[in-house]
Each structure stands twice: as C-alpha cells, then as structure tokens.
Amino acid sequence: MATKAQLEARVEQLEDDLRRAGRALNQVEIDLQALPLVDDHEFLAPHSDVNVVNAIERAEAEFDRVVKDPSDRINTYIQSREGLGWSWEDDYTRNGQFAWCGAFAAFCHVRVKMDIRYKVFASCYRMYTSWAKTSRKIEIQNAAPGDIIVVFTSKHTVQGDHITICNKHPDIKNGYVETIEGNAKGELGDGEYGEGVIKRRRSLEEIAHVYRLLGVDFDE
C-alpha cells in the first residue's frame, strides 16, 4: 500500500501533467500557419554566427532576471515584437494560461525574421511542419549552442512536446545536453528549484528534434 508521501507525490505529478495538457489544448485554438519549406541546399548559419551568439546572451540575461511563472515578464515573450508578437493574447497572469516555451525561444532569437517568429516559434507542431523536412533539422550529435532542441514530455508526440535552446555543446559521450528554457521546472537564476526561465540537463533520450536556423532566417 502506498504511503501518504507517495500519494502526495503522485498527485503533484498528475497536477503537473494536467497543466501541461491544458497548455496543449490552448494551442488547438491557434491558427496553424506554416512557412513554405526551404530548399535543403540552403547554407546553415554556424553556431558561432553573431546572431546565434546574441540569442545565447539574451537567454542568459533572462535567466539572470529570475523569471518565475507567473510573471509580467512573460507577456514580453508572448505579446511584444521582440518575441512572438501575438499582441492580441490576454496578459499572462496564471500558470498554465499559455504554453510560452516557444515564445521564450523567439524572444532569445530576436534577430530571426519577425514573420518566422510570429508563425513558427509558437509550438512544436509549427516547427515540425515547417522545418522537419528542411536542412534546419540536424542530428543530435551535431547540436551546438543556439540550436533549438525540442524534447519529449509524457505525451511523447511525434513533433515533440517542449521547446528549449541548447546552451552548451552537448556531452554526447555522457548522454546529455544543457539547455536554457522557459515554461519549465528546473534551476532558476537565483539557484533555487522552480518553474519559469530555467537551466536544465536533458538526456539524449528526451530529445525529439534538433533544429538549426538558416542564414536566410535572419534579418540582414
């Protein structure tokens, strides 16, 4: 028979799963627009490109701000033209109101063209339908800082379930990659464990897709 502590832990896990399910349901109401596929011969932007370096610096700066869910700062990721640019969305005031992991990635990759951030970054589904059959999709062993890493959660959908940004070169030998991500639980910028903009070590088994932006995706 399960102990009280075990039952409480199970309830907490189920509540977390329900919040994530609610976020997924919110995406059903989104107009799923997709950009045309880019020819596979397009040149890949190297991870050392100034645009990608800028994305990592912005991600680190947000981590240092200690953004906890919910927070007014999350509205910047979702509504402003620095992020998704979805200005019609209601202000984010409660946990689980909007699945903002992609909005955080869009904010970090602010030099990516606005129409791409607006149309593609909002969900794993949009990334999958827009990028999975292009040269943006790369193998995990080739991942580098600045790449977008989509991971599985308990739903384990074909497109993946949660959007993160690769923060350091993956340690393939030891089976993990370090990420900065929004709308997740992990280490906050103050060193505490919590939910918001966090750093986390993800196992290779968790990874669904890795995408690297092309040079053509950035504003000139």
Domains and CATH numbers, the chain: 45-217 (3.90.1720.10)
Is the confidence at residue 161, as pLDDT, over 50?
A: yes
Interatomic CA distance for residues 177 and 171, integer angstroms? 6
Q: pLDDT at position 30, please? A: 44
Map tokens 């959660």 to a residue: 153
Region 138-158 average pLDDT: 94
Region 80-101 average pLDDT: 98
- Sign, CA dihedral 19-28-125-114, equals negative
Interatomic CA distance for residues 113 and 214, integer angstroms? 11
The runs of H, that is alpha helices, within 29-113 are 50-65, 73-79, 101-108
141 contacts 156 by C-beta, under 8 angstroms? no
H helix or E strand, kind and range, residue 150: strand 148-151
Top-ranked range on mean pLDDT: pick from 41-45, 146-150, 167-171: 146-150
Confidence of residue 33 (pLDDT cuts 50, 70, 90): very low
Mean pLDDT of the chain: 87
The amino acid occupying position 195 is E
